[in-house]
Structure 1
Amino acid sequence: MLKKIATFSAVFGLLLLAYAGIEFSILNVWQPHDTILAVSGIILLLVYLVADFKEIISSFSKRSSQLNFKTLFGMVLVFALLIVVNFISARRSLRFDSTANQTNSLSYQTIQILKGLEQEIKVFGFFKSDQSDQIRDIFGIYENYTDKITFKVVDPDKENALASAYQVEKYGTVIFDGGELKDFTANISEQSITNGILNVTRKTRKGIYFSEGHKETDIHSEEKKGYSKIATKLYLQSYEPKKLILAQTVEVPKDLSTLVIVNPKIDFLEGEIEFLKKVLVARKSICVLVEPAIELPRLFSFLREWGIFIRDDVVVDLSPANQTYGGDPTLPLVVNYASHPITKKFGKILTVYPIARSVDTLQTTKPLFKTILASTSPESFGETDLEDGKVRFDPESDKQGPLGIAVVSEAIVSLDSQSPKVVVFGDSDFIDNFYQDKTGNADFFLNTISWLASDEDLISIRANEANETKLVMTQGETVVEFMLTIFILPGFFFFLGIIVYLRRKE
């Protein structure tokens, strides 16, 4: 009876030790109950050794016992190997994301921010013990790219002092502690977490000012044509969206990084044009988004000085790719981008521009770098006569595509100073509340603002989201697909059938 109890003690003791070791290797946290399990396991093993000490010593001389010992040693070795593998994998994980849009991976933008961290950041996730798995997995991915972030899951019910120190009032709160600066979020999405990291590492928010006084759309409007969503995304990227009435402003605000002019319907006064010049003299940046059929002589003349020409037309897109997206010829689709920091990670990401006008570059006496950032397809053209409601190309008055949708102009200055920059889009609807989340529209605009604000580390594709995949083909590819499916493949099998029939007949 005593022998059976001793054997049971040995087996149960090994199981307790194995459980404590495996749990620690997976969770990377030594819990109080793990100590109890480990101590209990050691005590049970000691009971076995004391109870069967003489038999254990004598059994080593028997061949069968030696074989059993080798088997037991092998099992212990396998258990130890599993613990070591789990311990290493918990700290050096290897992940594969097979989703088409890489929705389970960090965006390139976030990775660049993590690799560029220079200060230590403590992150505390205040969750119940049974609700911490998701946040632990997310921050495990973050920790793979930097050693500057230390993360800890805290149960506020068990660590009241820490929760009180950070004034945590509800479960699900994540605290970012950068020393002098602190931030929090209740949203555990990639964008919110990365924004929290930025907020405690960047001392101030740069001001992105939106002009007022020319019937521009309100940036805080939540209507379909408003810009509240893009304003929120700017804030989440550590910018401060603000309004600015140019006619009432004499000096350039100190925190102004970029002045954005969205869909003005009234031309600028001479004094306001002088203010725009002050902005650029102060080596700040300007972004202009205009709509067709609105003439702004003073503003357009100012932009011509920066080598940017705005045509009086409406871009019409008759490409096959346009048909796959909905077939509206006044909704040009763009997949062609210049080699530029704004679009360096774009590849063939689609952007759409509902009812846009074309923009182009001009020769100027100023030393400027001018680039057409985004261009429409060769099948597009600039329609200059829509009065009869018919869309047709007139070679005498209409310009054949590709046409520019966005143009950038940058002053050439010394390398040790920031250059003033101007970007013009021939459309403003592409970032309104309805269109901003269509394909890559928001990314294009946010990348533009980041470049204008000299924050190139923020230029990339934002947090990945699952979306539908569309096959966009050129006109040549459409013809090949049509011939292949309608004539070539059916014709091949028809011809093969005739051959088989003739051979059988013979």
Structure 2
Amino acid sequence: MTVEKLINLGKQQLNAALLAVLLLFYVASGFSGKSFAYLMLLFLAALLYVGCGVLLYTTFKGADKKNGHFRLLQLAYWLMLAAVFFYTAQADAVWQKVAGESVQTFYERLRQILQILYFTGFATAIVTLLLSMAVKTEARGATQALVTGGGLLVLLVALNYWAHIRPASVDMTLMRRFSLSADSRELLRGIDGEIKVTAFYPFFSEMYRDVELMLRDAAAANAKISYTFIDPLREKNLADEKKVDRIGTILLEAAETEAGKGPRSTRFEILDEDAIKRFERELVSNILQISGKRKNIYYSQGHEEKSVSGPFADDTIAILDENLRALRHHVKQLTPQEGFPGKMPEADAVLIIGPRRDFTLAEKTQLKKYFDAGGKILVAVDPESAADFSFLLGPLKVKLAKERLHSDYALPPGKTTLQSANYSEHAITAPFVKRPEERKLTVFPGAGYFETGSETNADYDINYFVLSHFTSWVDTIRNGMRDDKKEPLASFKIGLAAKAKNNSGRLIFLTDSDFMVNRYIDMQQNKELALRTIAWLAEDEKLTGIVAGKYDDEKVKLTGAKDTVIFHLFLYIYPGLILLVGYIVVRNKKRRLTENREA
């Protein structure tokens, strides 16, 4: 066979040769190490690529360079070179020299863009080579078709990538299993510092996608939250750096540091489908833990207060306590073991919920001293209680009336389980005021009220943020029925918020404690009111939220292989098929028009 025949054969098989180059580069990209086979594949691919370039620019002459076949081959040739460049730029060996050990979101995004360009370049080159085999058309038609098709393909890939970095999804599962609750999103929106979440799962793990959907929702709620996945089996060196040796570990790291302790971090594990039910609570509470200072919150004890546990679960404050602990605060008991009443521990807030017996003089003195020094106290007491809090209310020129209010707007049975939708303008009740009545109701099963006069204390800002319904009255006759003449209707003050002007002292006083117990806390907006009240007291906005849980439901399951197929189908194959069909339709239409003109 003469040299001329070899050259002509090479020219005829240039498409196949370039496809072989693509195949060699693809196989080489799958090697994890720089072995001899890897180097040989690269050498053969480079040699064949250079040979194709020589054939392309030496065998096509004159009129050949003006036809569509040459233009398509030329475009495919340079697309392959660009794709190889992008692949090399994002490869570990090169990227570590560019970005170093940085874990900034900017470098991660840039690397993802390079990977998209690498895949898109190769995909476009393959489509171009396939078209060059089948299409014999004029240069201008080929160029226009290619520019249009390439532009649409780039647009579709860009839209896919934008959807990846700015995710928006619709969770159609019955209990919204794979999305955060509105309360959790509100909590995450309040995070100020950078939070990096690293999940340790193999790519083909069934848990990978379940976890990613929730992390994607968290990242969508706050742009300062970013996440990445590490396969501890294939990327053992990265897992060792984070000191993680168990699949299913979720590591959270905050950018800010604690004095002398380095960056804040915490971790938890989501190992199976059952653990997914608590994933939202774990994720949000752990993010909140490392994003701010933990508060020391104390419950008073020893006066028959509402307790966290007891023989009747409905009468405990276990749910309230669970929500406080979910936000990773230190919740303790104010007992002699803490030095009380001899001294007051370092408390960010003291909660006195439902005491039946009175406090001792030493306890009252210590609590008053704590409040006067800028301390923060919440008191929720029932009218039947023997506890006397005049040592706190007296300086405010307020008196607690120990009579149960009645109302025509009460829940049955009886008239004493008050419903309220009446609030004043205050930081605690700001969201309630703007809502329709059915979304701002709170329930108080047996509330007293405050008696006030014209005299006030200028050292405090006092706000009665919760009021009873205007159909309330005091049953002075004690027959459960209202006397129109002796028992007039009114709206009574049942919630007080006081703020000292001279220091950071704050006092919350509520004339009912039962609205916080398990039996009632999930009624209407009671839980939100309780947590917003404690949040204002402790000056901690993250306490205003409720870390929700999830219920089980049925879902569609995909294997790792199916998931990968779907990923590539919608990112490349499906858009490519649309473009190919469109191109064929346009080409056939132009051909018919040309034939009609010639006829």
Shift of residue 107, structure 1, vs aligned partner: 4.7
* Cα 1:104/1:265, change in 2 over 3 Å: closer
Separation in structure 1 between the aligned mates of residue 301 and residue 30 of structure 2, nearest angstrom: 58
Match of 1:313 in 2: 403
The SS at the match of 2:314 is coil
Contact 1:123 1:150 in 2 (8 A): yes
* Cα 1:384/1:153, change in 2 over 3 Å: farther
Match of 2:362 in 1: 271
Contact 1:214 1:265 in 2 (8 A): yes
Match of 2:383 in 1: 292
Match of 2:190 among 113, 117, 140: 113
Separation in structure 2 between the aligned mates of residue 343 and residue 106 of structure 1, nearest angstrom: 16
The SS at the match of 1:151 is strand
Contact 2:376 2:537 in 1 (8 A): yes
Contact 2:531 2:545 in 1 (8 A): no
Separation in structure 1 between the aligned mates of residue 466 and residue 22 of structure 2, nearest angstrom: 66
Shift of residue 13, structure 1, vs aligned partner: 8.9
Q: Indicate whether 1:405 and 2:494 are aligned.
A: yes
Q: Which structure 2 residues correspond to residues 187-226 of structure 1 after superposition, within 5 A?
A: 189-203=279-293, 205-221=294-310, 223-226=313-316
The one-character-per-residue Cα deviations of 1:229-286 (angstroms, maximum 9, x if unpaired) are 21121122232111113795211112x0111111111112222211111111221111
Contact 1:447 1:458 in 2 (8 A): no
Q: Percent same amino acid at aligned positions? A: 22
Unaligned runs of 5+ in 2: 1-8, 33-37, 69-136, 255-261, 271-277, 552-599
Q: Which structure 2 residues correspond to residues 330-369 of structure 1 after superposition, within 5 A?
A: 330-346=416-432, 347-348=434-435, 349-362=440-453, 363-365=455-457, 367-369=459-461
Match of 1:133 in 2: 209
Separation in structure 2 between the aligned mates of residue 198 and residue 444 of structure 1, nearest angstrom: 20
**Alpha carbon RMSD of aligned pairs, Å?**
4.2
Q: Which amino acid aligns with 1:462?
A: I
Separation in structure 1 between the aligned mates of residue 208 and residue 544 of structure 2, nearest angstrom: 30
Shift of residue 31, structure 1, vs aligned partner: 9.5
Match of 2:334 among 239, 244, 249: 244
Shift of residue 210, structure 1, vs aligned partner: 0.8
* Cα 1:92/1:252, change in 2 over 3 Å: same
Shift of residue 183, structure 1, vs aligned partner: 1.2
Q: Indicate whether 1:91 and 2:165 are aligned.
A: yes
Q: Indicate whether 1:462 and 2:539 are aligned.
A: no
Structure with greater proportional helix content: 2
* Cα 1:5/1:307, change in 2 over 3 Å: farther
* Cα 1:13/1:80, change in 2 over 3 Å: farther
Match of 1:75 in 2: 149
* Cα 1:95/1:289, change in 2 over 3 Å: same
* Cα 1:194/1:107, change in 2 over 3 Å: closer
Separation in structure 1 between the aligned mates of residue 291 and residue 14 of structure 2, nearest angstrom: 59
Q: Which amino acid aligns with 1:334?
A: S
Contact 2:183 2:545 in 1 (8 A): no
Q: Indicate whether 1:422 and 2:507 are aligned.
A: yes
The SS at the match of 1:82 is helix
Shift of residue 350, structure 1, vs aligned partner: 2.4
**Residue range with higher mean Cα deviation, 273-282 or 287-296:** 287-296
Q: Indicate whether 1:230 and 2:320 are aligned.
A: yes
Match of 2:468 in 1: 376
Q: Which amino acid aligns with 1:173?
A: T
Contact 1:351 1:438 in 2 (8 A): yes
Separation in structure 2 between the aligned mates of residue 5 and residue 354 of structure 1, nearest angstrom: 87
Match of 2:537 among 452, 456, 460: 452
Shift of residue 14, structure 1, vs aligned partner: 9.0
Separation in structure 1 between the aligned mates of residue 30 and residue 543 of structure 2, nearest angstrom: 42
Q: Which amino acid aligns with 2:342?
A: V
Separation in structure 2 between the aligned mates of residue 6 and residue 294 of structure 1, nearest angstrom: 94
Q: Which amino acid aligns with 2:468?
A: T
The one-character-per-residue Cα deviations of 1:47-73 (angstroms, maximum 9, x if unpaired) are 987887746985553582322343233
Shift of residue 303, structure 1, vs aligned partner: 2.2
Match of 1:329 among 415, 420, 424: 415
Separation in structure 2 between the aligned mates of residue 164 and residue 328 of structure 1, nearest angstrom: 64
Q: Indicate whether 1:123 and 2:205 are aligned.
A: no
The SS at the match of 2:228 is strand
Separation in structure 2 between the aligned mates of residue 193 and residue 32 of structure 1, nearest angstrom: 36
Match of 1:61 in 2: 66
Contact 1:208 1:259 in 2 (8 A): yes
Separation in structure 1 between the aligned mates of residue 20 and residue 62 of structure 2, nearest angstrom: 21
Shift of residue 410, structure 1, vs aligned partner: 1.9
Contact 1:235 1:241 in 2 (8 A): yes
Shift of residue 287, structure 1, vs aligned partner: 0.6
Q: Indicate whether 1:185 and 2:262 are aligned.
A: no
Separation in structure 2 between the aligned mates of residue 357 and residue 181 of structure 1, nearest angstrom: 45
The SS at the match of 1:402 is coil
* Cα 1:161/1:81, change in 2 over 3 Å: same
Contact 1:103 1:466 in 2 (8 A): no
Q: Which structure 2 residues correspond to residues 26-45 of structure 1 after superposition, within 5 A?
A: none
The SS at the match of 1:193 is helix
* Cα 1:158/1:14, change in 2 over 3 Å: closer
Q: Which amino acid aligns with 2:187?
A: T
How many correspondences in the alignment?
434
Shift of residue 288, structure 1, vs aligned partner: 0.7
Unaligned runs of 5+ in 1: 20-29, 468-506
Q: Indicate whether 1:435 and 2:520 are aligned.
A: yes
* Cα 1:189/1:52, change in 2 over 3 Å: same
The one-character-per-residue Cα deviations of 1:409-468 (angstroms, maximum 9, x if unpaired) are 22222xxx42x111111221222223223332222111111211122x32644357899x
Separation in structure 2 between the aligned mates of residue 46 and residue 434 of structure 1, nearest angstrom: 78
Separation in structure 1 between the aligned mates of residue 218 and residue 498 of structure 2, nearest angstrom: 36
Separation in structure 1 between the aligned mates of residue 61 and residue 415 of structure 2, nearest angstrom: 88
Match of 1:303 among 354, 375, 393: 393
Separation in structure 1 between the aligned mates of residue 171 and residue 492 of structure 2, nearest angstrom: 37
* Cα 1:397/1:270, change in 2 over 3 Å: farther
TM-score by structure 2 length? Answer: 0.61
Q: Which amino acid aligns with 2:533?
A: T
Q: Which structure 2 residues correspond to residues 482-493 of structure 1 after superposition, within 5 A?
A: none
Q: Which amino acid aligns with 1:233?
A: N
The SS at the match of 1:71 is helix
Separation in structure 1 between the aligned mates of residue 50 and residue 407 of structure 2, nearest angstrom: 82
Separation in structure 2 between the aligned mates of residue 9 and residue 352 of structure 1, nearest angstrom: 78
Q: Which amino acid aligns with 1:447?
A: R
Separation in structure 2 between the aligned mates of residue 32 and residue 425 of structure 1, nearest angstrom: 68
* Cα 1:32/1:56, change in 2 over 3 Å: farther
